[in-house]
């Protein structure tokens, strides 16, 4: 049986499945992106970022190797990191801001290794400012 689901160079994400949620290796990596390095004759896959050979059913395709990366995506901006516990995001009261996705992802990975748990990178995609206070206008009756 050969794996036709993925090819070398594909970008996949760790699927949010029961088997992955119970796995020590994958529970903190759910939705993380990995790059396929090798596809075995039995249909398993190996990754650049992860040791071992894994069944393809644990992953969802994000982007084919033949497709260009999304160049429209801006990789700079405002990012913060939040702890995710029991499905709830718990950002710090004064979260540190990061200026690039690479930096934010690196710090989130370090925090997960050091403290355990799931850390989520959040990107600011919009900013809205309240208008200045409008003073009431008085008129004589």
* Res 33: pLDDT: 85
Written as six digits, the tokens of 2 are 């050969």
Q: Which of 64-78, 80-94, 99-113 has the lowest mean pLDDT?
A: 64-78
User: 80-97 in b/e burial notation, b at 16+ Cβ within 10 A?
Assistant: bbbbeeeeeeeeeeeeee
pLDDT at residue 1, as a whole number: 42
Burial of 71 (0-12, 13-18, 19+ CB in 10 A): exposed
Q: How far apart are CA 5 and CA 36, in angstroms?
A: 11
On whether the CB atoms of residues 14 and 22 are closer than 8 A, the answer is no
Give residue 101's pLDDT. Answer: 82
pTM above 0.85, yes or no: no
Q: What is d(CA 78, CA 126) in angstroms, rounded to the nearest whole number?
A: 10
Distance CA(29)–CA(94), nearest Å, equals: 25
**pLDDT at residue number 127:** 79
pLDDT at 68 over 90: no
Q: CB of 12 within 8 A of CB of 6?
A: yes
Question: pLDDT for 15-50, tens place per residue?
Answer: 889 998 898 888 888 888 888 899 988 889 998 788
| pLDDT band per the 50, 70, 90 thresholds, residue 93 | very high
């Amino acid at each position: 049986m050969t794996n036709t689901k993925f090819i070398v160079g594909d970008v996949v994400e760790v699927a949010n499945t029961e088997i992955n949620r119970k796995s020590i290796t994958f529970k903190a990596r759910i939705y993380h992106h990995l790059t396929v390095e090798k596809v075995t004759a039995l249909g398993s896959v190996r990754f650049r970022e992860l040791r071992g050979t894994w069944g393809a059913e644990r992953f969802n395709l994000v982007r084919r190797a033949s497709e260009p990366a999304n160049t429209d995506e801006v990789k700079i901006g405002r990012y913060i990191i939040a702890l995710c516990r029991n499905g709830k995001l718990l950002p710090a009261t004064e979260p540190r801001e990061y200026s690039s996705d690479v930096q934010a992802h690196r710090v989130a990975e370090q925090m997960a290794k050091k403290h355990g748990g799931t850390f989520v990178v959040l990107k600011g995609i919009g900013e809205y400012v309240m208008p200045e206070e409008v003073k009431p206008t008085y008129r004589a009756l």
